[in-house]
Amino acid sequence: MPDQMSSALQKLKSDAELFLQQEVEPRELRIAGGEDPVELAAEIREVSKLAGYYYKTQPEAYGGSPASVLELTMLRELWASANAPLTRHIFGPGPGLLHQAQGDLRSNYLEPLLAGAARGAFGFTEPDDALRPTWAVIDDDSLVITGQKSYVTGGETADFLSILVNVEDSNGGKLGTAMVVVDRSAAGVVMDKTFSSMEGGGHASFRFERVRVPLWHVVGELGEGMPRALANIGNVRLMVAAEAMGMSQWAIQFVSNHLLAPHRTGIPLGDKEGVRLRYAELRIQTFAARSALYRAARLVDEAENSVNEVIAAKVFCTEVAGSVVDWAVQLVGGQALVVGHPLESLYRRVRSLRLVEGANDLLRLNLAKGDLELGKGRL
Ligand SMILES: Cc1cc2nc3c(=O)[nH]c(=O)nc-3n(C[C@H](O)[C@H](O)[C@H](O)COP(=O)(O)OP(=O)(O)OC[C@H]3O[C@@H](n4cnc5c(N)ncnc54)[C@H](O)[C@@H]3O)c2cc1C
């Protein structure tokens, strides 16, 4: 049993590798040949539904067949190791912050989200110059929201935003945080600007000017906003770590091919000892980081408290991937930085992983707190 993978997991992996070869790679070639990427992305969603991957991120109650965290980790890593943009469309949308939504919230937002009929985006980050974090005041059976969210991925095309707010009663009494669903088209929601980041993501910043939403738009209970955001973020962080490890593997394979190929000096770069030392380091770091990733995934599946281990995996895997891709560029040389080279775009994409889903140094602080103040975490 290599890598302590059960035979079922090994079968899932070999089937998924075949799916990449038969369904994703030919369509990537068609995109390179000038065909419409949007149409081919839609095709990938359809073939993924047939193969069952699409439903692995969706709850059973909505027709999904959710995979274990270990399975999802393995698949995310595998998709990323293909370094193929179409792999983004293999998994269907997950419930994210709405995972326990009930009643109208469930029928009006969660169900259309999972069916692919509506898009949601998440607003947590606030501008550096915000005078006060976004707040909401209870007014009868409504919340009146005021504030800003500065970095909402997919905000421009989202139908609704899930945002974190601080709630007050009508006398200014503090009631804690809440996660609230706000229609992007609601009166008082102002999209200030749209922008893109270097890895290719599209984002928007929003102002909320006394936006009135009914109280049933609160996900869960008032006061539960931050714990809900954090409960959801753990698995997302693990998926970031898995993506980082897929990127590392792709970069190492690329470097390996380059080192074995002829070089203008007459000696392949892979025959030079100094280069071999660098190359070995990429493999050692990736081996260690993948071990951490899979150990963390298994702990999550055991339903043990694994917040600190997931943080450790996210921080370590994203930093290793940053270093691996950086060294891959160095070993391949100037060609790797030519715009359009696959390492050039990987270099831009890997950078964002150290900031998304919690800046790495803030996660380090959380990990230290988990140990020193709460007695949580393993070595
Ligand atoms: C590609 C991408 C997509 C994103 N998508 C979303 C999204 O959909 N929704 C959303 O809400 N946000 C999103 N973000 C924003 C992201 O969550 C934030 O960038 C991240 O949480 C860091 O917050 P910040 O940018 O405000 O930096 P700051 O919080 O200002 O921190 C900047 C740096 O200061 C240091 N620092 C700050 N505080 C401390 C401290 N207490 N101790 C030690 N060091 C500290 C750290 O080095 C940190 O990296 C996205 C960001 C990126 C890059």
What is the whole-number distance in angstroms between the Cα of residue 356 and the centre of ligand 1? 7
Distance CA 117, CA 365 (A): 39
- Evaluate if residue 234 carries a pLDDT over 90: no
- Evaluate if residue 235 carries a pLDDT over 50: yes
| Confidence band, pLDDT 50/70/90 cuts, at residue 99 | confident
- The model's pLDDT over 66-83, given as tens digits with 9 standing for 90+, comes to 999 999 999 999 999 999
C-alpha closest to that of 332 among 340, 341, 323: 341
C-alpha closest to that of 83 among 289, 258, 321, 296: 321
Q: How far is CA 12 from CA 8, 70, 160, 287, 349, in A?
A: 6, 11, 35, 21, 27
Range name among 40-49, 89-98, 226-235, 309-318 with the lowest pLDDT average = 226-235
What is the whole-number distance in angstroms between the Cα of residue 364 and the centre of ligand 1? 13
Distance CA 178, CA 175 (A): 9
- Evaluate if residue 185 carries a pLDDT over 50: yes
Nearest CA to ligand 1 atom 31: 359
Distance CA 226, CA 224 (A): 6
What is the whole-number distance in angstroms between the Cα of residue 355 and the centre of ligand 1? 6
What is the whole-number distance in angstroms between the Cα of residue 126 and the centre of ligand 1? 9
| Confidence band, pLDDT 50/70/90 cuts, at residue 2 | low
Classify residue 223 by burial, with Cβ atoms within 10 Å: 0-12, 13-18, 19+: middle
What is the whole-number distance in angstroms between the Cα of residue 166 and the centre of ligand 1? 19
Instruction: Please provide the average confidence, as pLDDT, over all residues in the chain.
Output: 96
| Confidence band, pLDDT 50/70/90 cuts, at residue 22 | very high
Q: How many CB atoms lie within 10 A of CB 38?
A: 7
What is the whole-number distance in angstroms between the Cα of residue 53 and the centre of ligand 1? 31
Give residues (CB < 6 A) around ligand 1: 122-125, 128, 151-153, 197, 199, 201, 352, 355-356, 358-359, 361-362, 365
What does the pLDDT read at residue 248?
Answer: 98
Mean pLDDT of 260-284: 97
Mutation test residue for ligand 1: of 149, 150, 151, the one with most atoms within 8 Å of CB: 151
CA 44 from centroid of its chain's CA atoms = 19
| Confidence band, pLDDT 50/70/90 cuts, at residue 240 | very high
Contacts of 152 (CB under 8 A, 6+ apart): 121, 122, 123, 158, 161, 203, 204, 205, 206
| Confidence band, pLDDT 50/70/90 cuts, at residue 1 | very low
Contact 150, 125 (CB under 8 A): yes
What crossing angle do the helices spanning 69-81 and 7-19 adopt, rounded to 10°?
A: 30
Contact 313, 357 (CB under 8 A): no
* Backbone phi and psi for residue 289, each to the nearest 5 degrees, phi listed first: -70, -40
Contact 190, 211 (CB under 8 A): no
What does the pLDDT read at residue 230?
Answer: 81
Q: What is the pTM of this model?
A: 0.96
Question: Pseudo-torsion of CA 280, 282, 285, 288, nearest 10°?
Answer: -70
Nearest CA to ligand 1 atom 42: 362
- The model's pLDDT over 141-173, given as tens digits with 9 standing for 90+, comes to 999 999 999 999 999 999 999 999 999 998 989
Domains in the chain: ranges and CATH = 2-97 (1.10.540.10), 119-219 (2.40.110.10), 226-372 (1.20.140.10)
What does the pLDDT read at residue 233?
Answer: 85
Nearest CA to ligand 1 atom 33: 359
Question: Pseudo-torsion of CA 373, 376, 377, 378, nearest 10°?
Answer: 110
Nearest CA to ligand 1 atom 5: 153
Residue with tokens 């370590």: 316
